[in-house]
Structure 1
Amino acid sequence: MNGIIYCRVSSKDQVEGTSLESQEAACQDFARAKHLTILKVFVEQGESAKFADRTQLLELLDFCKQNKGRIQALLVWKIDRFARNVEDHYSLKATLFKYGVQILSVTEPIDNDPNGKLMETILAGFAQFDNDIRAMRTVQGMRRKLQEGIFPWKAPFGYVSSTTNGDKKTEPDRPDPTLFPLLQKAWQEFATGAYTKAEMRRMLAHWGVATAHGEPVSPQSLDNLFGNPFYAGILVDPWSGQEHQGRHMPIVTRQEFARVQQLIARRNRSVPHQVIRPEFVLRRSVRCPKCHHFLTGSFSRGRTQRYPYYFCYNRVCGKHRTSYPAEAVHEEFDNFLTEVTIEPTLLDQVLETVVTVAKEEGDLLKAKQARWHKRRENLNEEVQELIRMRAKGLITDQEFSTQKRALYQQRMSVDSTTPSSPLTTDELSSAMTVIKERATNLRETWQAFPDPFRRRFVQCLLPVGFCHTKVRTAELGLLFRVTDAFQDGQSTGVSPRGIEPRSAA
């Protein structure tokens, strides 16, 4: 049998360390034990597994396509090295399956039997869970910076960052000595109402104002300049919409900023496009029954009111511009939710398995945290010992500065890799209770969700959407695949054993 190896690290430190070599060595040992001939090794350096458009991964897929039938196995050190997104994992797995390639983890039991499939699903879910936790903590860090009055992202046009080399900001952005006074003058001129945006662009070009790439200010950049509250000393939390007072020097006052916004609003009569609307809650979920493209939504004006319709915008489709009443589409999905459910006993088994795996992961995280705290304590003790040696005159000032700087760099490196905190038993129990309640009452859950969350609900239930009039043949999501793994059948349709239609009563 022939196989290939895929190794991945997501940071520069891991590239320079031994992680890649240890991953490849473990895969090579596994291949020798299983008598696999390795045709090629693909190494992904410093790329995240959150998305599927990685360079080496795309080359791997192309290699498997060109050598269809010659490759039987893809070896990875762990599932999370392959993908940290559940949908990407199963999409890539399906693609490889077409080429006759099976994914094998050298450190995890993901055999082709029902237990192995269940474990693979859980491991893929936990990889995404871990990635989501990291993203959440990154967001929390950025929100803290905003509350402290520091803009955590790239300095806006007219300012320069207080840090270099991508370090975390500890001070507010500074005014660019060349651009700042020119942009301040541009704000004052535009606030008079005597100039249009086109005239302001010509004026900026005449003053020699250019972007970081040396190009004239574009209409989009000008819109951002006159619409960004940062220039009035206001930092807006994009997740909550809350405003915080920035510590940087503003270009204009809040009153001048408000005056410019009123001026722009009077000139701009366009209506922004709304993707999420209560009239089209299934947009980007329902597909055309003919060409399987997503349907979009629009209104048809009647004598007394407007009526919402879904339609196919694919010009080569035989049902191009065919309208489907939104009420009928929503009723179809609503009826589907009343018919599909999960057998409670199977759901209990799945949740028990998830709790068991979560506890095992929690024990590993606790051990990792203990090692992290021990390492940090050792570094602090080394710093204190270094200070005592300097006080006793055992080392010179230069030796003290050099070693202290090295220890501080090590401590910063350790602090930047703070391990995640494990979920408590109460948190797990509470989460499982909510999941069971939601999963056994899908129609009630759908009706209780506000419009912005309904789209996510449909994506969880039907990851690739559904074709109008064929919702019962749609592929079900992760939770249904997990429960299906406990059954002998392999179907992901609506009515395998364990996913039974509700009785009329």
Structure 2
Amino acid sequence: MKYFIYARKSTDDEERQILSIQAQLDELRMLATKEGLQVVREYIEAQTAKEPGRPVFNEMLAAMEKGEAQGILAWHPDRLARNSVDGGRIVYALDTGKVSALKFPTFWFENTPQGKFMLSIAFGQSKYYVDNLSENIRRGLRKKLREGIYPNMPPPGYRNDKQTRAIVIDEARALFIRKMFEAYATGAYTYASLAKTVTGWGFLGVRNKPMAASKVRDILTNPFYIGLFRFSGEIYEGKHPPLIPRDLFERVQKGLKRNGRGRYVKHSRFPFRGLIVCHECGCAITSDVQGGHPYYRCGKRRGPCGLKTIREEALTQLLRASIRRVSISDEAAALMLAEVDRWIEADQAAQAGLVERQKSDLARISARLERLLQAFIDGDIERGDFTAMKEKLTLEKSALADSIAHYGEQVGGRFKTLVDFITASRQAKYDAQTENLDELRNWHKKVGSKLIFSSKILGSGSGAPQAGRKAVGGSEGGAGDSILGPLGGSAARSACPNPE
């Protein structure tokens, strides 16, 4: 009688304690030598037997059906099958005579009704072991998820603490993650350009390779960084500390939705592109190069427009003048900031009851989540509805908890834009002197001014404006708008926010 040797080692964690393939082969060869068995082929497989469809196992049974061998040598019946389909195939092959003998160093078998009955029990025990182990693993996983423990490797910026076995912030890499979110929130990057910038910082991806654009996308859209995590399509509250503020994360998400694939205008060559709109037609001012010099002109996307081009040097002078017009003295800035401090104190008093209402809402949402889970367990709602409702409530709960935790910061944060504007206005006389055109652009973006170009350019070699339209008031220009015109004229103004 001819025999096949079959050795299998699963790659699954639950079967790591089984003998290695080489150890199985050594034992089976010794058994064949001891009993004088003729081994014609050895089959080796590294795959779990929990599910049918193992290619090497199927190849072996096909060879036996052709009569190439009549018996199988294996370490234990569970090496042959841990599922009912493959176990049934072995028993059926014994019934039909395709397989005449099975030999195991750790299990007695003879081809009799009693032997096949015991073999079926062994296959059943193997399947029970796998099923029970899988259920234990799932139960432990569900417990971890309910406790807010992320069951996988944490994303960049976090690490597993070997002593506490908790996920903690990896400060060395967290710095880069924060900078990535802050950089993308400025609107000056695409996924690809940010990936290149991040690599320039020295923050590398897997195996120390340059950061890929897809990895940047994964990081920017991962709620893990605000204390949540997704697993199997559901969102959970994590025990790990958030790495970035929620408002920064939400600003980035809004930017992603607004810009589709994250396409932003690149300003390095033309720093003022996208910053100014045309007063004639409302289109954005675009740029190009003529005679080796950068020029800015109306994009004319809505049809013909009478606005002519202006050289970058002349536009730079207008922007410097615009900054100087909002300059205030140190004394005036100090008075304004003192008044803002009084507003903040009044706001804190007025908002004192808000936190209590938020705590009440938080308890109500927690109770709804408990009822939702019980309804799902009782089978009253489908998984799809459960997942959608759970995600909605979890996000609401997380937002409320974050709002309560950062209440003090939020009260002052409501006035941050105003404080930034006052501070920038105090610094304006110095900032207007900078030779860095990107800084000029960023100053206007920081104070939130809307620049409207309302100047007619006459043909001249210098490209400087020689005549201009007068400033347009009323509904044409709102608070915070800057209407750019000839230098030194009334055609440029910058309106400060009304303190009322």
Q: Which has the higher contact order (CA 8 A, sep 6+)?
A: 1
Structure exhibiting the larger radius of gyration computed from Cα positions: 2
Shorter chain as denominator, the TM-score bin is 0.3 to 0.5
> With structure 2 as the length reference, what TM-score do the two structures score?
0.41
> With structure 1 as the length reference, what TM-score do the two structures score?
0.40
